[in-house]
């Protein structure tokens, strides 16, 4: 439980002490943080959504939250890149998983929205561990109920703005089309980052442009300074509430082999970590990391990348408290 600091304030409960309990021991919450039921209130919650019924190629992302948690055991409380006591500045918890129907996507969407809204309406900022990218649509719906439309930065190899797959409106390739139709994000303050690979037609890009996204193509990282890209993204976002959505396949398969739709020519983990650190000071209100499919991982390469990305996002949210 939380403990008093002596001035009437409750000090945050941090992770298990890695010098008292070995990293390979203890409970498997994210970064060995307390569970949400172990504290009286929380500021940032890492929450899993083990759902992958919307995938179009490799399955298995339903096991992503557990894999990312296992891969987060080495995370320590101080983040030198952001100069923040990640788990000491505010109360960070693991909120467990939102249980969803694996057979009915429409019902699952409602369950994710309600689960996310339960956290957000109490003032908690969520970092969501997927699961496939279908889940970002209901998370955005929940955020909209509290924050209104948000600036959206979407890191991905793919646009995820297609209209349907096999006439199904809700898949991991359609969440941002559905979100655009409902006005869940600010179309002139949002961007895709890392887009690459083959498309169905040139119209995929023009159709996406009609939704208002700015695109930073993956190939741009070969010849543009990363700082310039960060500066442009910050200018696009402005002071609006910001939501960050990370499909792990934005990383090159060398850095994230365990994903459902891998594409050659992606970002390195170092590049993506630096991009996130470039958002320091912006009005971040939530984030997700999706499409980790652990059956394709080895040596926890993808899980470790995802865990460290989540750690940076938690640090950014903690600095705003």
Q: What is the pLDDT of residues 7-18, one digit of tens each?
A: 446 789 999 999
Q: What is the pLDDT of residues 183-225, one digit of tens each?
A: 999 999 999 999 999 999 999 999 999 999 999 999 999 999 9
Within a domain: 12: no
Within a domain: 15: no
Domain total in the chain: 1
Q: What is the pLDDT of residues 259-280, one digit of tens each?
A: 999 999 999 999 999 999 999 9
Domain interval for residue 188:
29-319
pLDDT of residue 59 exceeding 70: yes
Q: How confident is the model at residue 5 (pLDDT cuts 50, 70, 90)?
A: very low
Tokens for 147, please give them.
């924050």
Within a domain: 19: no
Is the separation of the CB atoms in 67 and 60 below 8 Å?
no
Longest Cα–Cα distance of the chain, Å, equals 63
Within a domain: 18: no
Within a domain: 8: no
Within a domain: 80: yes
* CATH code at position 85: 3.40.800.10
Is the separation of the CB atoms in 105 and 62 below 8 Å?
no
The pLDDT, as a whole number, for residue 10 is 78
Within a domain: 20: no
Listed in sequence order, the residues at least 6 apart from 217 whose beta carbon sits closer than 8 Å to its beta carbon are 194, 195, 196
pLDDT of residue 6 exceeding 70: no
Q: What is the pLDDT of residues 226-264, one digit of tens each?
A: 999 999 999 999 999 999 999 999 999 999 999 999 999
Other Cβ atoms less than 10 A from the Cβ of 232: the count is: 14
Q: What is the pLDDT of residues 164-179, one digit of tens each?
A: 999 999 999 999 999 9
Within a domain: 269: yes
Q: Beta strand 44-49 with 125-130: parallel, antiparallel or unpaired? A: parallel
3-state DSSP helix/strand/coil % of the chain, to nearest 5: 35, 20, 45
């Amino acid at each position: 439980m939380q403990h008093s600091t002596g001035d009437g304030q409750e000090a945050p409960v941090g992770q298990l002490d890695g010098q008292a309990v070995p990293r390979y021991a203890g409970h498997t919450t994210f970064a060995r943080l307390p569970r949400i039921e172990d504290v009286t209130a929380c500021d940032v919650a890492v929450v899993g959504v083990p759902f992958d019924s919307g995938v179009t190629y490799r399955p298995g992302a339903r096991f992503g939250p557990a894999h990312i948690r296992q891969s987060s055991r080495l995370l320590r409380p101080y983040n030198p890149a952001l100069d923040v006591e990640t788990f000491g500045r505010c109360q960070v918890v693991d909120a467990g998983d939102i249980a969803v129907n694996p057979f009915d996507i429409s019902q699952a969407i409602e369950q994710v929205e309600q689960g996310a809204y339960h956290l957000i309406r109490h003032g908690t900022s969520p970092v969501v561990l997927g699961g496939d990218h279908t889940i970002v649509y209901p998370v955005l719906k929940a955020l909209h109920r509290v924050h209104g439309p948000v600036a959206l930065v979407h890191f991905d190899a793919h646009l995820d703005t297609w209209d349907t797959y096999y006439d199904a409106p809700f898949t991991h390739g359609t969440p941002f089309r559905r979100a655009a139709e409902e006005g869940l994000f600010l179309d002139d303050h949002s961007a895709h980052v890392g887009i690459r690979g083959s498309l169905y037609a040139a119209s995929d890009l023009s159709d996406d442009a009609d939704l208002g996204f700015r695109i930073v193509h993956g190939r741009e990282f070969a010849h543009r300074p990363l700082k310039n890209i960060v500066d442009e993204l910050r200018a696009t976002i402005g002071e609006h509430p910001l939501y960050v959505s990370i499909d792990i396949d934005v990383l090159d398969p060398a850095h994230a082999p365990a994903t459902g739709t891998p594409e050659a020519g992606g970002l390195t983990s170092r590049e993506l970590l630096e991009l996130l650190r470039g958002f320091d000071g912006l009005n971040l209100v939530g984030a997700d990391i999706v499409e980790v499919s652990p059956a394709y991982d080895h040596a926890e390469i993808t899980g470790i990348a995802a865990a460290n990305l989540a750690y940076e996002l938690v640090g950014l949210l903690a600095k705003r408290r």
